[in-house]
Amino acid sequence: MVNFTSHEIRDIAVSMLVIAGVFAYVFKNINGGDFVSLIPVTLVAVGFGFVFHELAHKFVAIRYGFYAEYRLWVEGLVLAIITAFLGFVFAAPGAVYIHGQYISPEENGKISIAGPLTNIVMAIIFFVLFQFLAFSPLLALVCSLGFTINSFLAFFNLLPILMLDGAKVLKWNPAVWLITIGIAFVMMAYPYIISYMGLIF
């Protein structure tokens, strides 16, 4: 049974709004446009990617019988705001805290890979939708950002660095880690590959 406390719901909402806001601010400075009108775009394309990533961890952890709750990380949100003013975003809005008995490497690996896999699935969904919605500049922007950001989130979180998902997945199953990060890398690099091919041909 998946339950959400009022504190957790508040943390999720705040995280999504702050992340959407900082990305809207950065995109406004890069591509122009109105900050307020960009927030719904970044909320769908970026905010959902961050939060669904964390909720995937929560759902899998609960499936294994652990108590899991998303908690906002104030320092991470402040860092996101500061970096946005510098022209880029380093965002760590919060994390899912898991409580319970001993977590085996397999359980920890599967809980950890759930987040990046969610981003990969979301990126694919945005990519497919883009093929049908490219006629609308607004919807095309949402899908394009959704694909790009979710691909990056998947790849970044799969890096085998302590505290990131990749280190736990690699410890559990190196083959699964290699395949998954390979897919995420190709997806992340896809726009650059297409641009390069276009320049050549």
pLDDT tens digit at each of 201 positions of the chain: 678 889 999 999 999 888 888 888 887 776 667 788 888 888 988 888 888 999 999 999 999 999 999 999 888 888 888 988 888 777 778 889 998 778 899 999 999 999 999 999 999 999 999 989 888 888 998 998 899 889 988 998 999 988 889 999 999 999 999 999 999 999 999 888 776 665 454
CB 146 within 8 A of CB 123: yes
Domain ranges of the chain: 1-101, 104-201
Q: Cα separation of 63 and 70, whole Å?
A: 15
Residue 54 known to be catalytic: yes
Which of 8, 54, 69, 107 is the catalytic position? 54
Sign of the Cα torsion 68, 121, 157, 134 reads negative
Phi, psi for 69 (deg, rounded to 5): -145, 135
pLDDT at 60: 96
pLDDT at 201: 42
